[in-house]
Structure 1
C-alpha cells in the first residue's frame, strides 16, 4: 500500500478543510505499522484513503500495482471486499448472527464460496474456534474484536487496516487483541496498519508513523511506550 502526494480536502471554497496535505508514504509488506497523531491530524483520512473508503482530492493511492483512484465504484468495492480487511473500533457484528455467520457474512453476501478449512484455521488462530456457534451478546468485548479480526482475514487480504481497534476495550482485552495482531504479522507475514491514540498499543508495532496538521511528522522504528508518548507530546508544537 502506498500514497503518492495525496491530499484530501472536505468542503469547497473558503470553508474547505484539508485533512491530508501532500502525503507520500509506503506501508512495508509483512509489517505492523501504527499511525498516531493529535485529534484532527488526519489519521482516519489517511486510513480511509488507503482502504479506498475515501478518494483523494489529488495524488494517487496504490494497493500493490492497482491504483484505487482509477477504478470504477463497482471495481473499487470488489477490491475492498477481497483485498483489504478492515477492523472497526465498534466491532460491527450482527447481533442475530453467530460467530461463524458473522465471519462469513461478506463472502455469503457476494455469493462467494467459503473455504471451510481456512475458516476453521482462522477461527482457531484468533482463539474463537470453540465459540463458532455463539452470538455476540455471549462474548466479551475482546472476543467480539477477535471475531471482527477473523472476518477481516477470511478473504486472505493483501492488508488488514484497523481503526482504533482497542479503543472500546479494557486493558486485558486490548492486550489480547494487540498480541493477536503481532502474532498474525509474525507467523503469517500479514501486513497490518493500525490507527491508535494509545502509546502502549503503538509499541506492539514495528514502527509508528506520526501525523500532524495533515502532514507526515516523522516515524519511529521499534517503538517503546515512553518514546511514543514523548514524541506525541512534542507534536503539539509541529
Structure 2
C-alpha cells in the first residue's frame, strides 16, 4: 500500500486527492476530504476507522459506484472520471470483483450457476480450467450442484468469493465480508482471501470494523473524519486496537 507518491506499474488502484461532498450549502457533508491512496498490486489492504469516517464512501469511489466531487480514481491506467454509466458498469463487471457481508446469491440457481452469473451477463462462456481452479481454491468443488439454502453461511460466502473471482478481476473489493459469520468460519474466509493474495497475486481491498479481520491484511489504512489518519504494515490485532483507540473508535 502506498500513500501519496507517484503512480507506478505496481499500483492496481489509486485514489488521488479524492473528496466527496453530499448535499450543498448548509446541508453539505464532506464524506472524503482530499484522500490519496495507492493500492499495491498483489497486496491485501484493509480500511478501518470510526463510524462516519468515510470507509463506505472510500469503497464506493474506488469501485466507481460513486463519483468523487473532486480528485480522480485510477484502475490500473484507466481514469474513471468522465466515463459514462454504461462504461463504468462494464468496467466493474470485467475488472472489479465484489464481496459483501450479505452473500447476494440467487436462491433458485445452483452454486455453479451463481458463480458464472457475471459471465452470463457479459455474454461470455466460462473458462472451465479457471472455474475448476477457483472452486477448488475456495473449497466448494463438491457443492456445485447445490442450491444456496443447502449451504452454511461460510460456504455461501465462499461461493460469493468464487463469483467475484470468475472474471479474473484486477481488484477484489470486500465490504465486511465476515460480518455475518461466526468467529471460526470468519477466520477461514479471511485465510482464504489472504491465500488468494499470496498464491495467485490477487489484489484485495477490504473494509472492516474488526481488528482481527484487519490483521490478515498486509497493511491497514485508517480514516477519520474523511481524511487519512495513518497506516500500519504487517499489523497485529493489538496494534490495530491501539490505533483505533487513538481515533476514538474503541
TM-score range, shorter chain: over 0.9
Is the counterpart of residue 58 in structure 1 residue 79 in structure 2? no
Higher helix share: 1
SS at match of 2:34: strand
Compute the displacement of 1:109 (Å).
Answer: 1.7
Distance in structure 2 (CA, Å) of the matches to 1:11 and 1:135: 43
Q: For 1:81, what is the secondary structure of its paired residue?
A: helix
* Deviation per residue, 1:195-236 (Å, 9 max, x gap): 000000011000000000000000000100000011001112
Distance 1:69 1:49 in 2: 10
Q: 2:167 aligns to what?
A: 155
Which among 199, 204, 219 is matched to residue 207 of structure 1?
A: 219
- 2:90 is matched with 78
Aligned residues: 237
Tell me which stretches of 4 or more aligned residues in structure 1 moved more than 4 Å: none
1:116 aligns with 2:128: yes
Residue 110 of structure 1: how far off its partner (Å): 2.0
5+ residue gaps in structure 2?
1-12
Q: Distance in 1 between matches of 2:232 and 2:87?
A: 35
The whole-number CA distance in structure 1 between the counterparts of 2:124 and 2:151 is 27
In structure 1, the gaps of 5 or more residues are: none
CA distance in 2 between partners of 1:8 and 1:148 (Å)? 29
SS of 1:25's partner is strand
* Number of the residue aligned with 2:139: 127
Q: TM-score, normalised by structure 1?
A: 0.98
Local SS of the residue matching 2:216: coil
2-structure distance, mates of 1:87, 1:12: 32
Single out whichever of 11-20 and 184-193 deviates more from structure 2.
11-20
Normalising by the residue count of structure 2, what TM-score does the alignment of the two structures yield? 0.93
